[in-house]
Amino acid sequence: MSSNKINIVVAGATGYVGLDLIKILSNHPKAKITNLCAQKNIGKRIQFFDKRIKKKLPKISKLDKVNWNNVSVLFTCLPTGQSQVIIKKLFKYNNLKIIDLAADFRLNAADYKKFYGFNHKSKNLLKSSIYGLSEFVKDKLKKFKIIACPGCYPTSIQLPLIPIIKKNLINKNIVIDSKSGFSGAGKNVKKKFKHKNLYSSIHAYGIQGHRHASEINQAFSKATKSKLNYIFTPHLIPTFRGMLSTIYVEKRKNVTIKKVFNELKRFHRKNYFVKILPINVNLGTENVINTNFCEISVCSTSNKKGLIILSAIDNLIKGAAGQAIQNMNIALGFKENLGLK
C-alpha cells in the first residue's frame, strides 16, 4: 500500500450513511481503510451489508481494537449522542482529524439540549469543532480538529438561501417544503414511521419542530441580523434516496429574478459541487442521485413578487457521506472533488 495514503477508521460502518461512505472511500486514491467498526456483526465482511462494495476491506470489528496512533481520520456515523462520548476519549491523539456525521457537534450546548433532549457530554470540545457545510467554510476546515457535517435538509436549504439572505435580496417570510427518500430515516425507518403503505406513500412529519430546524435557525441567525420567519415541512417519499427542497420566497422591492440568479451564480462560481441551472428550469433529483452535487434553479411564479427556488441533492451523499469526504479532502489539502463524482 502506497505510503502517501491516509489511514481511516469508520465507526458506524453498517448504516446507510456508513455504507455509502465506505463505498466512496474504497475507491478514493488517498484513502486506506484500516478499521470498519460497529457494535454488532463483529467479524462479518462489509459485503454482507452492501454488495456494491467490491474491494476487500477489514472485517467488522469493535472500536477498542483500533491503534489510534496510526490513524489520520475517524468518520463517525453513529446515532446522535454516541460520537461525543467516543470523541472525548480520542481527542488526545494529535494526529487524528474527526469528521462527525451525527448532530453531536453541529450546535451549541443549549440548542443541542433544546432540540435533542439531553445534555452535551463534551461541551468543552465544541470550541474545537466547526459546522462543516463545505461551500461556506473551505478556508477554515484545516484549523479544526472536529468537523461536524450538516444534516441533509439543512444542506439542501442553506446552499440556495444563505447567499441571497446575506445580500438582503428576499423578504423575511420563507416557506420551505422538503422531500426526502426514506433512507434519511435510517435502517429503523419502520420503527420511526408507523403509518401504513410506508414504501408507497408520501408522509409529512416533524411539523411542530424537526430537529434540523435547529441548524436552519443557526444558519439564518449568522447570515442576517434581521428576524426571518420561516415554515419548514419535511416529507418522507417512496424512494430510497434523493432530496428536493422547494423554497418559496418574496423578492425585496426592485430586486429581479435575474439579480437573485446572478448572486447565486457569483457566490457558487468556485463551488465545484453546486450547479446553478438557468432561470425557470424545472428540476428533480434525477441528476444528483449517487453524486455529491447540488442542483439549484430559480423560478418565477404567477405572483410577481414571488420566487420558487428548487434545490436537489442526494441525501446520503451531498447530505452526508459525500460532504464528509469533501470536507476531508479540503481539510487535508487534497483536491476538493478527489474520489467524488
What residue ranges do the domains of the chain occupy? 6-150+319-331, 153-315
pLDDT at 2: 43
Q: Which residues of 167-184 are buried (b: 16+ CB within 10 A; e: fewer)?
A: bebbbeebebbbbbbbbb
Measure the N-to-C terminal CA separation of the chain; round to a whole number of Å. Answer: 24
**pLDDT tens column, 96-151:** 999 999 999 999 999 999 999 999 999 999 999 999 999 999 999 999 999 999 99
Out of 37, 149, 152, 299, pick the active-site residue: 152
76 and 83 in contact (C-beta within 8 Å)? Answer: yes
Q: Which residues of the chain fall short of a pLDDT of 50?
A: 1-2
User: Strands 203-204, 97-100: parallel, antiparallel or unpaired by DSSP?
Assistant: unpaired
pLDDT at 200: 81
Say which DSSP state 251 is in. Answer: B
Q: Which residues of 44-59 are buried (b: 16+ CB within 10 A; e: fewer)?
A: eebeebeeebeeebbe
Grid cell for residue 280? 425557470
294 is a catalytic site residue: no
User: What kind and span of H or E run contains 164?
Assistant: helix 152-166
pLDDT at 275: 98
Can you tell me whether residue 327 is helix, strand or coil? helix
Q: What amino acid occupies position 71?
A: V
CA distances from 59 to 11, 23, 38 (A): 13, 14, 10
Measure the CA–CA gap between 276 and 1, rounded to whole angstroms: 40
Can you tell me whether residue 128 is helix, strand or coil? helix
The CATH topology of domain 153-315 is: Dihydrodipicolinate Reductase; domain 2 (3.30.360)
109 and 84 in contact (C-beta within 8 Å)? Answer: no
**Class of 6-150+319-331 per CATH?**
alpha beta
Domains 6-150+319-331 and 153-315 fall in the same CATH topology:
no
